[in-house]
Structure 1
């Protein structure tokens, strides 16, 4: 693999010849980019870097809105919002499926190299244009996902900590460490796309009253917990490589932030898995025995 220079496409020549952020690009690309994927990564990453506080502002507004709405809805009937909920979840599901399909070939390309796992978390190697584009969209989609909780409040469904905590924390951390353009970000992104590509279509079917087998819901909860465990594991693995003297492109603020984030997520999603899968499953079994 080498850097692609002097190629016929002016965009690829511009991006790859400058080796943005120290990355080596695949030659030829794992996936040829669509025209809409040919954005200027320098501009968008610089925009995130200079406007990282936007995530904090958005988080503050988000918390104010959901609890303000919750108080407002106390004396009012819930909104039905079935069609809106269906469209909302379906759109996020389609976005996640496309993101996963476009992202996973480059991810697997790196994993299949010699020392692929190490390279996937520590080495700025194996970038292509679709991967870069969908990583950017992943970061911006964290604002879009805030609408999930607003729909919960408007429908007067029970609002629990995990629903708004993980939205706020994920958005803030992604916008703080995103401009560092670390190799390990590919793990966080592909895992998120994969789980959401199943979770949001499931929610869209539930929104229009389609009964989905219980094991599908349990599987999604299991995958959510697995996502957090894997995220925590790769984060700690990169720290281990640094501790034993291997080159690993990680920054202390990122390692610390994701240790806190994934550690808290393991606890919250572990409790969710226990309550909704293990505990409720035990109750169903006990009912059958009575």
Structure 2
């Protein structure tokens, strides 16, 4: 039984290597799924088990300066990714409808491959978001959805970059996601800078609307595939996954929008205080894109939670 299992794994590995796009074989972490899967398994184990136990009897780290630098770097990285996606086709030759995966070695195809890999690698860098939560003892922020999103997305993108790295309809959601991350990490950076920058965060109430817009755009764009008479050289599995991703997270965000802004409910805040990415204010926690984001202030007055401002009771 064990020998058969090992034989099957070896055969699958050989098959995968034969199917790996030759143009991406020399990129870091693209030679085998073992490296990528090991990193993500280590991430899940650290964030869910090892990290919290290591920090159990330790004081939380003060990482504001580190996080300001990290957030700034993520803003610049995601802005560069958006630019490269645009220059690789979306702002030059793509129709924004049935755009095909390019199997050639043209300069544009190779440029698209580079940015597709860079987007994948950026998802591994984003694992540091969770590491910061652990080191700052913000374990309540590390939900199942948070860990699942941060591990599942890079895992699926590895397969996409390995088998079909050169664009196509599926690359649209990566470009949009990076554009949204420019905005979000800008917010995080200002938030981590301390209370004196709170006056520049007036637009935080629009964060959920920006996320909802992202999922609407992604879902509408990818849905075109189902209504086309013909759209050659796409991978239907990638299309289905992207559509399900967009719809699922649109529903999750819509539910938050209803709870937060229509019904006036908020998720509970542990210890009557919550900080996000270095903020020293008291924002309410909200699930966004698999992680918790700041979305407005919560004040406690005579035991009641009042959104947005202090209200006399």
Name the structure, 1 or 2, with higher relative contact order (CA <8 Å, separation 6+): 1
Which residue of the partner structure matches residue 264 of structure 1? 248
Q: 1:205 aligns with which of 177, 190, 200?
A: 190
Change (3 A) 1:162 1:226: farther
Q: Is the 8 A contact 1:173 1:257 kept in 2?
A: no
Change (3 A) 1:138 1:212: farther
Deviation at 1:194, TM superposition (A): 0.6
Q: 2:237 aligns with which of 245, 253, 268?
A: 253
Which residue of the partner structure matches residue 172 of structure 1? 155
Which residue of the partner structure matches residue 36 of structure 1? none
Q: How does 1:1-290 map to 2 (within 5 A)?
A: 41-44=23-26, 48=30, 50-67=31-48, 68-105=50-87, 106-111=89-94, 116-120=95-99, 122=100, 124=102, 127=108, 129-157=110-138, 158-159=140-141, 160-178=143-161, 179-181=163-165, 182-209=167-194, 210-213=197-200, 215-241=202-228, 245-275=229-259, 279=264, 284=307
Distance 2:233 2:251 in 1: 27
Change (3 A) 1:285 1:73: closer
Distance 1:137 1:250 in 2: 21
Deviation at 1:144, TM superposition (A): 0.8
Runs of 4+ in 1 over 6 A off after TM superposition: 285-290
1:3-31 C-alpha deviation (Å, 9 max, x unpaired):
xxxxxxxxxxxxxxxxxx7xxxxxxxxxx
Distance 2:27 2:232 in 1: 21
Q: Is the 8 A contact 2:67 2:189 kept in 1?
A: yes
1:70-94 C-alpha deviation (Å, 9 max, x unpaired):
2332333211111111111111111
1:240-280 C-alpha deviation (Å, 9 max, x unpaired):
32xxx312332232233324433332233334444555546
Deviation at 1:156, TM superposition (A): 1.6
Distance 1:45 1:188 in 2: 22
1:21-70 C-alpha deviation (Å, 9 max, x unpaired):
7xxxxxxxxxxxxxxxxxx944347963x523433322211110012212
Change (3 A) 1:165 1:266: farther
Distance 2:256 2:36 in 1: 26
More strand by share: 2
Change (3 A) 1:95 1:285: closer
Q: Is the 8 A contact 2:170 2:238 kept in 1?
A: no
Change (3 A) 1:273 1:131: farther
Distance 2:69 2:34 in 1: 30
1:123-155 C-alpha deviation (Å, 9 max, x unpaired):
649935543322221111111111111101211
Change (3 A) 1:47 1:153: closer
TM-score by length of 2: 0.66
Distance 1:257 1:205 in 2: 34
Provide the alpha-carbon RMSD of the alignment. Answer: 3.2
Change (3 A) 1:287 1:84: closer
Consecutive unaligned residues of structure 1, counting only runs of 5 or more, are 1-20, 22-39
Consecutive unaligned residues of structure 2, counting only runs of 5 or more, are 1-20, 267-295, 299-305
More helix by share: 1
